Structure 1
Amino acid sequence: MLFLDVAATSAAVTATSGRKAKIELLADALRRLDPDELAAGSAYLAGELRQRQTGVGYASLRDLPAPAADATLTVGAVDAAIAEIAVVAGTGSQARRRQLLGALFGAATADEQRLLVALFGGELRQGAQAGLLADAIARAAEVPVTAVRRALLLSGDLKHVAVTALTRGAAALAEISLRVGTPLTPMLAQSATDVSAALLATGTPATVDVKLDGIRIQVHRSDDDVAVFTRSLDDITTRVPEVVAAVRALPVRDIVLDGEAMALDDRGRPRPFQETSSRAMTRGGGTAPSAGPALTPYFFDLLHLDGTDLLDEPGRVRWAALADALPAALLVGRRTVTSEEEGAAAFAEALAAGQEGVMIKAPEAPYDVGRRGSAWVKVKPRHTLDLVVLAVEWGHGRRRGWLSNLHLGARDPRTGGFVMLGKTFKGLTDELLRWQTERFKELAVDDNGWVVTVRPEQVVEIAFDGVQTSPRYPGGVALRFARVLRYRDDKPAAEADTIDMVKAIGMPAG
């Protein structure tokens, strides 16, 4: 298949607003891919490269050769060229990478160059998110969409699911299951404004977990091999040897655990989240543990134990098995409540211990991989949202030379883009200002001397006092008194809060 056909499909999907029409366009392109092109082609249609790291940054994409007049590149040829670029290393690597990149872009037409720039830059905004492409895979392969979605959530690999569905069908999809060592998309939680609202969603009796101020971890062990993954499925095993050691010491053969890890002070209380987060950061290619306090793991769910998958078991069964398999020191604080009063007491105790709040859970619910349902509901003591930074303004006065004022966006699930909600520079310490200046220089796609537009990748947790109507912004709403709590390096932009969640918070009283 010509790469130009992928570029044409991408452009058509971008220009199409209807979900069904997008799915049909994507499905038609998937049907036309050769079997050996499916992995790369499905990735391109999802706005991704098959190779996660290529060494190609924004600066490399500024001075490109003139486009080719005729389309000659195939999907396979583009994939092979990018694979060669991705493995360049050592002395002279920059020059060699530029040479290979120039050859690829020189063979591409103008439309193909536009798609390549978007893929390398992570800037393809065509509304073809993983969920939409899952529906297209089901349509193209003529298999149930539920089978595709479950396989995708269990494997965490859209490319593998596409190849399996389109070459081997529904029976092969059903064989995709939890594999120890392969991370799966974690179950997520809804938010509630208070304990009462959370219990209305879960019902009673309910299980209340302490919501730790740490990073989400998923730990896989097979015999002596241990792997640790973040909520975005990044492998951080070499960065958290203390977590590896704790799980390797358990008296089990195979296990998959869901939990959190955090840095503690001398009193056993959580240290600032940024200290915990820095230990898990994978940016920059480093693999050794960074300087900083050790992380202590705590686990709240058990997904697999010694050959038995527990995903579809009720929570009470999973949690009982977890308590049997792990020492109490590795378990998240947990209790059963039967009333709002008991839930409120658990919430108050969690806050007094310096934690974020509580997670209220329905004990009969299975582990709903990758889903955000009402079976798990988080309660924090204030309004907070995880938003995406869309642009940053250069500071002035004492902040001159630093990127300061953040432009904040909520995710729009209908378009795959982001809706701006306002700006803030509140809550930024000098340390955060230094950090974010370097970070947003890495993500910059344009700088007019005042505002630096960035790739929408960095998630930031924002506290605010309420939501108000605002004609200034496309979503019609803005946040009142927004301030930065922390950066979420553990969370991808695809999991940021949506504009619908913002509007559901409603207007402040009075």
Structure 2
Amino acid sequence: MLLADVARTLETVSQTRARSAKTAALADLLRRTDPADASALVGMLIGRVRQGRIGVGWRTVVDLRSQIAPSKEPGLSVREVDDALEQIAHTPSGAGSAGVRRDLIGSLFAHADSAESDLLARILTGEVRTGALEGIVIDALAAATDTPATVVRRAVMLSGDLGLTAELALREPAALADVGLRVGVPVQPMLASTSSSVEDAISTAGESSVEHKLDGARIQVHRDGDDVLVVTRSLADVTARVPEIVERVRALPIRSAIFDGETLLLDDDGAPRPFQDTMSRFGRHGVPDSVLRPWFFDVLHLDGTDLIDEPLRVRRGALADVAAQHLIASTVTDDPAAAQRVLDEALASGQEGVMVKSLDAPYAAGRRGKAWLKVKPVHTYDLVVLGAEWGSGRRTGWLSNLHLGARDPEGVAGEPGGFVMVGKTFKGLTDELLRWQTETFPAYETRRTTHAVFLRPEIVVEIAIDGVQRSSRYPGGVALRFARVKGYRPDKSPAEADTINSLQAQLR
């Protein structure tokens, strides 16, 4: 398939706000795709190539494109682009490596016509934002293969890879129904929605497990014999960095399991240390100078039996049988007053709040529904950084005031599939964070002015607010009230940022 075909389809997708039209256009493209190209194509559609980061900066791409005139005819195939990206990603670092990467990219641009050149530049810089988000691609794949969307979605969640699922669907659609849990293959985690109070949460979920919401890092732990795999919320492998967790899981009286849970550092009094301390610990190799402890709240597989479709009450029972010492404490209740007491205890111990989980719900991998509800007294949202302004006074020379964006999945604010600005803040930024921003943000730069640097929407930051207010200043119609930075969330992807809809709901 020519890259020009992909460019034409994405142009159609970007020009419509109707989800059905986007789905139809992408389904037509997928029907014409060779299964061998499916994984590469999906990566290009969602703006996340399968090779991950390939070591090529935005400036290099822009400079090369400006120096090479487009071809008069389309000349690139999806497979050729993917092969080149593979070579670039595996080019050894060292003397001459930058030149090799430049030559490979230059060759691509030399064979690309104008439309292909534009799309290629956006693929290389992560700028493919046309509303072709994963959910729409899943719907399109279902339509292209005449498969129920629920079957495709489940296969994606259990395989953890939309590209590989697309390849399987195009080769043998019936095989999607056979995709199941595999120990050692990370699963997209079940997600929680937000509830304004424990009373509302209990009313929605019914009899529930009410648990402390730890201010830690989400982990998923797989064990197969003596082999242990630990991955983060984004499914990044951190096994080598957490030997203490590996040791604890190996000590459990089991043969195989998939656990879901959290980990965090505690101070000498047993209170949770700041989230950034936990994340910093993930970034260090070698002998740890601080010890992470796992707390598990779910088990998806145990000793040859898949539990993912069992209700939570069954899963919690199985977890208590094999890992009671690592089990997050739970109060089972349908009484709002009892749930409120758990919330009060959690806050008093320094935790974020509580999770209210329906005891009758299965584990919905990758989904954010009403079966799990989080209750926190302070409104916090995961937003993306769209830009930063240069500071003044004591902050002169540092990138300071952040431009914050919420995810806009349905184009309700006029930029389909993108991010819409909802406010600015410089509050909560320590000198350490200011220094980090100034050093880090240029790597994500798309353009700059005298006063600000604008970024690709890839950096997620947790923002605490007192609420929102109506605003005609921003396209989403809302602005943040008293926003302040809680911390950056390297464990979360932009696709997990909170939506403009969730902010607008606070106005009601």
**Distance in 1, Cα, partners of 2:81 & 2:486:** 42
Q: CA deviation at 1:62?
A: 2.3
Aligned to 1:404: 400
Q: Is the 8 A contact 2:202 2:334 kept in 1?
A: no
Aligned to 2:85: 82
Could you tell me which of 271, 274, 277 is aligned with 2:276?
Answer: 274
Aligned to 1:467: 468
Aligned to 2:42: 42
**Distance in 2, Cα, partners of 1:222 & 1:12:** 46
Secondary structure at 2:101 match in 1? helix
Q: Is the 8 A contact 1:460 1:488 kept in 2?
A: yes
Q: Is the 8 A contact 1:2 1:72 kept in 2?
A: yes
Taking structure 1 as the reference length, what is the TM-score of the superposition?
0.95
Choose 82-91 or 129-138, whichever is displaced more.
82-91
Q: CA deviation at 1:75?
A: 1.4
Secondary structure at 2:372 match in 1? strand
Output aligned runs, 1:314-325, within 5 Å. Answer: 314-325=311-322
Could you tell me which of 259, 262, 272 is aligned with 1:260?
Answer: 262
Q: CA deviation at 1:82?
A: 1.1
**Distance in 2, Cα, partners of 1:72 & 1:479:** 47
Identical positions, percent? 55
**Distance in 1, Cα, partners of 2:421 & 2:289:** 35
Could you tell me which of 142, 160, 163 is aligned with 1:159?
Answer: 163
1:188 aligns with 2:184: no
**Distance in 2, Cα, partners of 1:379 & 1:470:** 26
Query: Which one-letter code corresponds to 1:332 in the other structure?
Result: I
Q: Is the 8 A contact 1:275 1:293 kept in 2?
A: no
Structure 1, unpaired ranges of 5+: 282-286
Q: Is the 8 A contact 1:391 1:454 kept in 2?
A: yes
1:66 aligns with 2:66: no
Q: CA deviation at 1:289?
A: 5.0
Q: CA deviation at 1:35?
A: 2.7
Taking structure 2 as the reference length, what is the TM-score of the superposition?
0.96
1:123 aligns with 2:127: yes
**Distance in 1, Cα, partners of 2:205 & 2:286:** 39
Deviation sequence 1:265-323 (CA, Å, 0-9, x none):
11121111111112235xxxxx8359763221111000001111100000000000000
Q: CA deviation at 1:140?
A: 0.9
**Distance in 2, Cα, partners of 1:289 & 1:149:** 38
Output aligned runs, 1:229-244, within 5 Å. Answer: 229-244=231-246
Deviation sequence 1:385-425 (CA, Å, 0-9, x none):
11111111111111011110011111112021111111000
**Distance in 2, Cα, partners of 1:482 & 1:105:** 43
In structure 2, do the counterparts of structure 1 residues 413 and 290 end up closer, same or farther at CA, with 3 Å as the change threshold?
A: farther
Query: Which one-letter code corresponds to 1:201 in the other structure?
Result: T
**Distance in 1, Cα, partners of 2:442 & 2:48:** 22
**Distance in 2, Cα, partners of 1:416 & 1:422:** 19
Output aligned runs, 1:322-471, within 5 Å. Answer: 322-328=319-325, 330-414=326-410, 415-471=416-472
Aligned to 2:413: none
Aligned to 1:245: 247
**Distance in 2, Cα, partners of 1:50 & 1:433:** 32
Q: CA deviation at 1:114?
A: 1.3
Q: CA deviation at 1:66?
A: 2.3
Secondary structure at 1:33 match in 2? coil
Secondary structure at 2:362 match in 1? coil
Secondary structure at 1:62 match in 2? helix
**Distance in 1, Cα, partners of 2:140 & 2:8:** 16
**Distance in 2, Cα, partners of 1:379 & 1:17:** 33
Query: Which one-letter code corresponds to 1:319 in the other structure?
Result: R
Q: CA deviation at 1:142?
A: 1.3
**Distance in 2, Cα, partners of 1:474 & 1:292:** 47
**Distance in 1, Cα, partners of 2:232 & 2:15:** 35
Secondary structure at 2:331 match in 1? strand
**Distance in 2, Cα, partners of 1:19 & 1:139:** 13
RMSD between aligned alpha carbons?
1.4
Q: Is the 8 A contact 2:220 2:259 kept in 1?
A: yes
Choose 403-412 or 86-95, whichever is displaced more.
86-95
Aligned to 1:302: 299
Query: Which one-letter code corresponds to 1:52 in the other structure?
Result: G
Query: Which one-letter code corresponds to 2:322 in the other structure?
Result: A
**Distance in 1, Cα, partners of 2:341 & 2:50:** 49
Aligned to 1:493: 494
**Distance in 2, Cα, partners of 1:66 & 1:279:** 47
Could you tell me which of 205, 208, 217 is aligned with 1:206?
Answer: 208
Secondary structure at 1:21 match in 2? helix
**Distance in 1, Cα, partners of 2:38 & 2:492:** 28
Q: Is the 8 A contact 1:279 1:289 kept in 2?
A: no
**Distance in 1, Cα, partners of 2:54 & 2:256:** 34
**Distance in 2, Cα, partners of 1:265 & 1:176:** 43
Q: CA deviation at 1:449?
A: 2.2
Query: Which one-letter code corresponds to 1:128 in the other structure?
Result: A
Structure 2, unpaired ranges of 5+: 411-415
In structure 2, do the counterparts of structure 1 residues 139 and 462 end up closer, same or farther at CA, with 3 Å as the change threshold?
A: same
Deviation sequence 1:65-104 (CA, Å, 0-9, x none):
2222221211111111111111001332112111111112
Aligned to 1:284: none
Secondary structure at 1:434 match in 2? helix
**Distance in 2, Cα, partners of 1:318 & 1:161:** 27
Query: Which one-letter code corresponds to 1:114 in the other structure?
Result: D
Q: Is the 8 A contact 1:275 1:292 kept in 2?
A: no
Query: Which one-letter code corresponds to 2:212 in the other structure?
Result: V
Deviation sequence 1:45-65 (CA, Å, 0-9, x none):
222212113111212212112
